[in-house]
């Protein structure tokens, strides 16, 4: 066991909340782009001649570099080695570069060119060049936006530890949800109004440049603060991150419990959203024009509830229990979604709202809890390892649900908007999501037990740590 002395909790409240606003705004601009193309699927098919598999390839591009080339992990190590300012500017640079490539691909006239890939004369696959370049752009963007997610977390921890940390992290997550809501509601009307599917991307690029400016202002404040803090008497420099720290992180049981809880929980929520509109139409008989509005309630609820639950964690504690309750809610929601007899519209609205509460509870406690389990100097790498494993779930669970629907859930046909479409019985997919929820409960319980054993303080108020913020903190 090693002990280090935490840096002094610095800065005035005004400065701290300003910093939170600047970093969160930058993250918001990234989150808008992450979801801005989702409402445009039909438009891309109508105007650019894409089909569903083109769209599927493009969407999956988000995780390619992060998952297979381990870019997320490298991003976390860069964050720990070089600090939040360097990592943040790099993230925004990647987001801008990736979005520029995507914008060019969507708006350029490539004359229907096709890119083919072959080995030894055997054709592997061919894809429209436009789709390929747009996908590559989205892949580069995906590295940047995931990296800004972990960078924002570490920056918020740097400025808020010991003082309303969970509230601040909750507000940061809420900023991401505002970004998602802007994309969900603004993208399609703008593209329709201009008749150009690239128009929302152009606006996003402008937003991202403002996000970059916002982050640069943060950098000035952060550097000034660092200089001032270094000169405070009694402040010892924190140990630097070493590669061997990864092994140390990997040896922490609670870290794995929280990571597995994270992948299970997020795999039960974000992939659900990809199918939620169809579920509303087919099970709850919501009109297609209105069906997307019900799942869209989810981010709105989060905007208020995530900071609220964060604040409860700060003042009253019960972090592990909050994660447990959020996981239990998943099981209730998906079990009710699975019951074939429950088809009332209002039921769908209530269940989505409760799901929104779950998606506020778990993140509001999960991200601050990581700071109690791993030391600050390893935080970037720890968050990136959690995100990396979570990205596997986010990439493959939608695929799993698609396969299950295709092979086990076809229940005839149905006419939607005058078009004969396949009718799916969503019982099995909902039970799979409920299963993820049940497993989340198991890992939340394991986490709570481990906390009781090791005394991480997950059940203690974060603000209580304020008194300890300038004293010694135990580090594994
Ligand atoms: C999808 C992404 N990897 C993720 O986990 N996002 C979380 C937390 C974001 C933390 C932002 N500083 C989310 O709830 O959106």
Model pLDDT for residues 357-366, shown as the tens digit of each residue: 999 999 999 9
In the structure, what pLDDT confidence band is assigned to residue 47 with cuts at 50, 70 and 90? confident
Q: What are phi and psi of 272, to 5 degrees?
A: -55, -40
What's the confidence (pLDDT) of residue 15? 94
What is the position in ligand 1's atom list of the atom closest to the CA of 169?
A: 12
Give Cβ neighbours of residue 266 (< 8 Å, ≥ 6 apart). Answer: 390, 393, 394
Tell me the per-residue pLDDT of 311-324, one tens digit each, with 9 for 90 and over: 999 999 999 999 99
In the structure, what pLDDT confidence band is assigned to residue 7 with cuts at 50, 70 and 90? very low
In the structure, what pLDDT confidence band is assigned to residue 2 with cuts at 50, 70 and 90? very low
What's the confidence (pLDDT) of residue 4? 39
What's the confidence (pLDDT) of residue 476? 39
Of 325, 320, 289, 286, which Cα lies nearest the Cα of 305? 325
What is the position in ligand 1's atom list of the atom closest to the CA of 153?
A: 12
Mean pLDDT along residues 442-467: 90
CATH number at residue 29: 1.20.1250.20
Tell me the per-residue pLDDT of 63-119, one tens digit each, with 9 for 90 and over: 999 999 999 999 999 999 999 999 999 999 999 999 999 999 999 877 777 777 777
Q: Would you say residue 216 has pLDDT above 50? A: yes
In the structure, what pLDDT confidence band is assigned to residue 283 with cuts at 50, 70 and 90? very high
What's the confidence (pLDDT) of residue 10? 53
Q: Would you say residue 275 has pLDDT above 50? A: yes
Query: Of all helices (H) and strands (E), which one includes residue 119?
Result: strand 114-119
236, part of any domain: no
The two three-digit tokens of residue 449, written as one number:
């037990």
Global pTM reads: 0.90
CA distances from 200 to 26, 44, 148, 400 (A): 17, 13, 21, 30
279, part of any domain: yes
d(CA 84, CA 102): 27
296, part of any domain: yes
Of 346, 72, 347, 308, which Cα lies nearest the Cα of 169? 308
What's the confidence (pLDDT) of residue 3? 36
Domains: count for the chain: 1
Q: Would you say residue 145 has pLDDT above 90? A: yes
Q: Whose CA is nearest to atom 13 of ligand 1?
A: 173
What's the confidence (pLDDT) of residue 468? 35
- Mean pLDDT of all residues belonging to the chain: 89
Mean pLDDT along residues 345-354: 95
In the structure, what pLDDT confidence band is assigned to residue 240 with cuts at 50, 70 and 90? confident
Instruction: Find residue 3's DSSP bridge partners.
Output: 474
| Ligand 1, CB cutoff 6 Å, lining residues | 146, 149, 152-153, 172-173, 176, 363, 367, 387, 390
What's the confidence (pLDDT) of residue 171? 97
Most confident of 7-21, 173-187, 232-246: 173-187
What is the position in ligand 1's atom list of the atom closest to the CA of 152?
A: 12
Give yes or no for a contact between 166 and 141, defined as CB atoms under 8 angstroms apart.
Answer: no
In the structure, what pLDDT confidence band is assigned to residue 153 with cuts at 50, 70 and 90? very high
What's the confidence (pLDDT) of residue 236? 60
53, part of any domain: yes
Q: Please report how the helices 165-194 and 297-316 are oriented relative to each other, as an axis angle in degrees rounded to 10.
A: 170
Tell me the per-residue pLDDT of 372-419, one tens digit each, with 9 for 90 and over: 999 999 999 999 999 999 999 999 998 899 889 889 988 888 887 777
2, part of any domain: no
What's the confidence (pLDDT) of residue 238? 67
Q: Whose CA is nearest to atom 8 of ligand 1?
A: 173
What's the confidence (pLDDT) of residue 44? 85
Structural domain for 290, as ranges: 11-118+125-224+247-474
159, part of any domain: yes
235, part of any domain: no
d(CA 160, CA 275): 37
Q: Would you say residue 155 has pLDDT above 90? A: yes
Q: Would you say residue 6 has pLDDT above 60? A: no
Of 372, 364, 375, 370, which Cα lies nearest the Cα of 386? 370
How far does residue 390's CA lie from ligand 1's centre (Å)?
A: 10
What's the confidence (pLDDT) of residue 474? 42
d(CA 43, CA 26): 28
Query: Of all helices (H) and strands (E), which one includes residue 150?
Result: helix 129-160
What is the position in ligand 1's atom list of the atom closest to the CA of 146?
A: 3
Of 177, 182, 172, which Cα lies nearest the Cα of 148? 172
d(CA 411, CA 424): 5
How far does residue 149's CA lie from ligand 1's centre (Å)?
A: 6
Half-sphere exposure of 368 (CA within 13 A, CB side): 41
Q: What is the DSSP letter of 38?
A: G
How far does residue 365's CA lie from ligand 1's centre (Å)?
A: 13
ipTM of the complex: 0.98
Of 378, 363, 232, 369, which Cα lies nearest the Cα of 309? 363
Range scoring the smallest mean pLDDT among 184-188, 253-257, 341-345: 184-188
318, part of any domain: yes
- % of the chain with per-residue pLDDT over 70: 93
What is the position in ligand 1's atom list of the atom closest to the CA of 31?
A: 15
Half-sphere exposure of 96 (CA within 13 A, CB side): 15
In the structure, what pLDDT confidence band is assigned to residue 144 with cuts at 50, 70 and 90? very high
């Amino acid at each position: 066991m090693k002990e280090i002395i935490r840096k002094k909790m610095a800065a005035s409240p005004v400065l701290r909340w300003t910093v939170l606003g600047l970093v969160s705004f930058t993250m918001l601009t990234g989150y808008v782009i992450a979801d801005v193309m989702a409402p445009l699927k039909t438009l891309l098919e109508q105007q650019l001649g894409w089909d569903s598999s083109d769209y599927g390839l493009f969407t999956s591009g988000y995780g390619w570099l992060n998952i297979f080339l381990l870019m997320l992990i490298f991003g976390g190590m860069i964050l720990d080695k070089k600090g939040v300012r360097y990592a943040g500017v790099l993230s925004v640079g990647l987001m801008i570069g990736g979005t520029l490539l995507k914008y060019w691909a969507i708006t350029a006239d490539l004359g229907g060119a096709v890119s083919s890939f072959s080995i030894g004369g055997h054709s592997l696959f061919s894809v429209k060049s436009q789709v390929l370049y747009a996908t590559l752009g989205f892949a580069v963007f995906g590295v940047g936006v995931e990296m800004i997610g972990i960078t924002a977390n570490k920056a918020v921890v740097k400025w808020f530890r010991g003082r309303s940390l969970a509230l601040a992290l909750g507000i940061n997550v809420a900023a991401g949800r505002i970004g998602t809501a802007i994309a969900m509601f603004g993208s399609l009307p703008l593209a329709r109004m201009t008749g150009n599917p690239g128009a929302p991307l152009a606006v996003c690029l402008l937003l991202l440049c403002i996000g970059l400016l916002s982050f640069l202002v943060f950098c000035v404040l952060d550097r000034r603060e660092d200089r001032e803090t270094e000169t405070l008497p009694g402040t010892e420099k924190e140990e630097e991150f070493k590669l061997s720290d990864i092994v140390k992180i990997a040896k922490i049981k609670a870290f794995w419990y929280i990571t597995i809880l994270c992948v299970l929980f997020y795999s039960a929520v974000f992939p659900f959203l990809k199918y939620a509109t169809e579920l509303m139409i087919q099970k709850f008989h919501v009109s297609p024009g209105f069906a997307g509005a019900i799942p869209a309630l989810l981010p709105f609820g989060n905007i208020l509830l995530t900071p609220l639950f964060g604040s409860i964690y700060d003042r009253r504690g019960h972090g592990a229990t909050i994660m447990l309750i959020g996981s239990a809610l998943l099981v209730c929601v998906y079990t009710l979604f699975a019951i074939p007899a429950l088809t009332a519209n209002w039921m769908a609205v209530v269940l989505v709202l409760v799901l929104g509460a779950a998606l506020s509870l778990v993140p509001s406690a999960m991200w601050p809890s990581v700071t109690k389990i791993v030391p600050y100097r390893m935080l970037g790498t720890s968050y990136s390892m959690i995100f990396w494993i979570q990205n596997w779930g986010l990439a493959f669970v939608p695929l799993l649900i698609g396969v299950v629907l295709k092979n086990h859930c076809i229940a005839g046909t149905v006419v939607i908007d005058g078009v004969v479409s396949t009718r799916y019985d969503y019982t099995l997919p909902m039970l799979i999501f409920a299963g993820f929820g049940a497993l989340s409960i198991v890992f939340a319980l394991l986490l709570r037990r481990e906390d009781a054993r090791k005394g991480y303080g997950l059940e203690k108020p974060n603000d209580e740590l304020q008194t300890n913020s300038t004293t010694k903190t135990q580090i594994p």
